[in-house]
Amino acid sequence: MGVHGVGLGATERAKSSAPPKLPSFFVIGPPRTGTSWLHEVLREHTNLPTPAKETRFFDTHFERGISWYHAHYRNLNGDRPMGEIAPTYFASAVARKRIAELVPGARIVCIFRNPVERILSLYRLKRAYGMIRWNLEEAIVRDPELTQSSKYATNLREWQRDLGAEQILPTFYDDLREDPQSYIDSVADFIQVPRFRLSRRDIRHVHASKTMTHPRNYYWTRSATTIADWFKAWRLHTIVVQVKNSPLVGLFLGGGREFSDLSRDLSRRIYELCQQEVEDLEALLNRDLSAWKGYESVNFSEIEGPGLLRSR
């Protein structure tokens, strides 16, 4: 029997005497830290879910069972490690516990980013996709993901406790942007993938920025996002991808007013919410994070992050 009463199941166990193949590594974010870029550059060197980047198995769809999860991994290449890019797992205690029980040897990659920039970027994503309708000040109070996923030191300690500090690789978004090749080398070494050279396209996309806007119509966008999530839950990701790559996407995404810049006062208040976590992370990792300290450090030109796909 697995975590919270969800086991592999007698039928599934009977299919094979071998234990089910599960990922050897997870990139757990948190959201808006370059995980879509990592998915793009790692997918030719590892076995990742397809066609969707995120399965949400360990935090949202666990009751659907291992067979449902395995269906996201098509044509596994036995020479490559199996992994998942899963930014929602970072702040999920239930995902952490399930991974610790089912995949106790998994290697975990975290990516930490200036929390003010990251919160603003995550807010804009959720607003653009109709996940929330509040302004930023209201969202910080009413949407726990914005602040819970910014508890960097608290969540990192929990992952280290449950899986072992030697299995956790803390990394920084600043390093990814400063030297993408060195960054990906360190990740490849940790997840036990042979090093590879980034293409010019890969490096160029690190410094690209995809601009988002408020939705043209909140209710249309909200409905489209809800329907897309339903399709994903039933492993109908191909339909979602086809719509996103068609002119139809313009009916639901974008078209609204541009997001305004963050005021200095609100930036200061957001930083104060995260200040203790930043200081604790600085001490925990022995890393100077003075560049994050204070609202003057926010780089508005890079809020959206690497401009590849919808990135969590």
pLDDT tens digits for range 107-121? 999 999 999 999 999
CB under 8 A, 24+ apart: contacts of 40-43:
40/202, 40/205, 40/308, 40/309, 41/184, 41/198, 41/202, 42/83, 42/85, 42/187, 42/193
Specify the CATH superfamily of domain 3-212+259-302: P-loop containing nucleotide triphosphate hydrolases (3.40.50.300)
Q: Write out pLDDT tens, residues 25-55.
A: 999 999 999 999 999 999 999 999 988 889 9
- Phi and psi torsions of 150, nearest 5°: -100, 0
Residue 155 in this model has a pLDDT that exceeds 50: yes
Of 211, 130, 206, give the one whose Cα is nearest residue 175.
Answer: 206
Residues written for the chain: 312
What pLDDT shows up at residue 212?
79
CB 202 within 8 A of CB 40: yes
* Portion of the chain with pLDDT greater than 90, in percent: 61
Domain definitions of the chain by residue range? 3-212+259-302
What is the residue-averaged pLDDT of the chain? 85
Tell me what pLDDT residue 205 has: 75
How far apart are alpha carbons 310 and 129 in whole angstroms?
Answer: 10
The DSSP H or E segment spanning 25 is: strand 25-27
As a whole number of Å, the end-to-end CA separation of the chain is 31
Range with lowest mean pLDDT among 35-49, 93-107, 288-302? 288-302
38: its two tokens: 């990592």
pLDDT value at residue 300:
53
